[in-house]
Structure 1
Amino acid sequence: MSYTGADWALTGGAAAVSLERSDGTYDKGSANLCAQCHQIRHPRPAATDGMIEVTSTRFGPHHGVESNMAVGEGGMGVTGAPGGHYNLIDAGCVSCHMGENTDHGFEAELGTCEGCHSDIESFDYNGTQTEIQALLDQIKPLLIAEGIIDVTILDDDGEIGNRSVPGTYSEEVVNAMWNYMYVIEDHSFGVHNPGFARALLEYSLTALGG
């Protein structure tokens, strides 16, 4: 401790982060600190004779999967790629969530986006969030019909939540649920990596016969 302002310097963000549950690496300077926590934590499901046992009521990759989403890895049945927000923005998460227009809440603000998107009026840029939400809305009833979503547990809005029902399901159903939860837990509704988020949900929709 020097008991100076230097003690508050950012540490731990210099080294690239090897993502624990995929083959990817997140390497965006100071944003590497974010990736140390915001990544998939649970192992991807593995099938035995085409079936997978779900043992948790909170099945899915993790509550914060943003670094995996950015690099396009960790989904089921989909080979992804890094999105533009990873490839083109030097400081990754920090550039958008800690820009000059943001406070200490880390919430992205449109003023920060304007440096690249001068015509932006909402985060639903080019309708990406609307499209992703529409896919999620198509998939959820199909998962409910398969019995893997618990209809007795409601969210804060009084709607059926996304808790899973422990049991043994086909590989297709579990993979679809994984991808669905992956996009839900990313919280950006496609903004972090539109192409990959779309591919994950389209795979799920096809796997469920939608």
Structure 2
Amino acid sequence: MVKRFILALVPMLLVLPFLFVISDETPSQKCARCHGDSEEFKEWKLSKHAQSLKILKEKGVKSLSCYRCHSTRIEIPSDWSSGVQYTASDDPVSCYSCHRHDSGLPHNLKQPYDKLCGSCHIKDCACQGADVIHQSHTELLYGRGGFGVTNMPSVHLQVIRKGCVECHMNKAQKPPEGGVRKTGGHTFRSGYKVCLKCHQNPQKRIDEARKELQELLDKLKRALDKSPYKNSTDWKRAKYNYDFVKAERSLGVHNFSYSKALLKHSLSLLSQLMWQK
């Protein structure tokens, strides 16, 4: 009897350590078991998404609200009545941030194309504090959210059908033979080749747009710093527009017209403020 019990116990003891290893795996490690050699997984490892958690840790950020977007959210059923709860895992933005096998959507996405990226890439970020803009990619692309300028959606929205992924995951740029692509796919870096569908010399257009907007940003920054009316509503609105455009970081690629209009309006606010006083 004892011998049979021991024989039955041995397989369990052999399997038990393996179970603990599995339970300690991060979401990306679990995905890598099947997809680690895939083109998509190798591209993701080169992306900024794969560094999202490292950035927080290096800066010593401990606020859980930051981890909502900077790490993979794990869905943990608490009980039958409360549905699911979200907690930050020790994993960067990885496969499970966007995909789940039972989603029922194309490519097993958790949300449709036009909503998925915008669930994190938005200007309002609780971890930054009230009225502090973290990143404004979605708002600037759709031309909304700034002060003093009517909504001005980007002309790009007229030609892109899948939102952000149309450019940031476009595979027009081929990877080197036997290597991993540097733009598009799951690197999420937009390569200029995708622009060739509409623009003959995209690099030149981008350089010119960025130069013009950077000059406006610098001019507005000097005006904001020199202004003695930092407690006025107009100064605060001008500063908000400055932060709004700067935080988006594309310098006009997403929506040049709206970015330029916001900066010029802010300069006019400060100019009027000086004359009024």
TM over 0.5: yes
TM-score bucket of the superposed structures, by smaller chain:
0.5 to 0.7
Q: Which has the higher contact order (CA 8 A, sep 6+)?
A: 1
Higher normalized helix content (fraction of residues): 2
Pick from 122, 146, 150 the counterpart of residue 75 of structure 1: 146
**Structure 2 alignment gaps of length 5 or more:** 1-32, 36-99, 174-183, 273-277
Aligned to 1:66: 137
Q: 2:223 aligns with which of 133, 142, 154?
A: 142
Q: Are 1:169 and 2:228 matched, yes or no? A: no
Q: Is the 8 A contact 1:78 1:199 kept in 2?
A: yes
Percent identity of equivalent pairs: 30
Residue 124 of structure 1 aligns to a residue in which SS?
helix
1:60 CA displacement: 4.9
Show the counterpart of 1:12.
110
**Residues 1:34 and 1:123: Cα distance change in structure 2 (over 3 Å):** farther
Cα distance between partner residues in 2 of 1:200 and 1:59: 21
2:179 paired with 1:117: no
The change in CA–CA distance for 1:13 and 1:88 in structure 2 (over 3 A counts) is: same
Query: Which has more radius of gyration?
Result: 2
Q: Which ranges of structure 1 fall in alignment gaps of 5 or more residues?
A: 15-29, 44-56, 149-167
Q: Which residue of 2 aligns with 1:161?
A: none
Per the alignment, residue 254 of structure 2 pairs with 192
Q: TM-score, normalised by structure 2?
A: 0.51
Aligned length: 161
Query: SS at the partner of 2:231?
Result: strand
Q: Is the 8 A contact 1:72 1:82 kept in 2?
A: yes
The alignment status of 1:180 with 2:242, answered yes or no, reads yes
1:98 and 2:179 correspond: no
C-alpha displacement at 1:136, in angstroms?
A: 0.4
Taking the aligned partners of 1:73 and 1:61, their CA distance within structure 2 comes to 17
Contact 2:142/2:153 (8 A) holds in 1 = yes
Residue aligned with 2:219, SS: helix
The residue that corresponds to 1:52 in the other structure is none
- 1:33 equivalent in structure 2: 116
1:129 lines up with 2:210 in the alignment: yes
Which residue identity does 2:144 align to in structure 1? E
Q: Offset of 1:188 from its aligned partner?
A: 0.8
* AA partner of residue 148 (structure 2): G
Normalising to structure 1: TM-score of the pair?
0.66
What is the rounded CA distance, in whole Å, between the counterparts of 1:122 and 1:108 in structure 2? 16
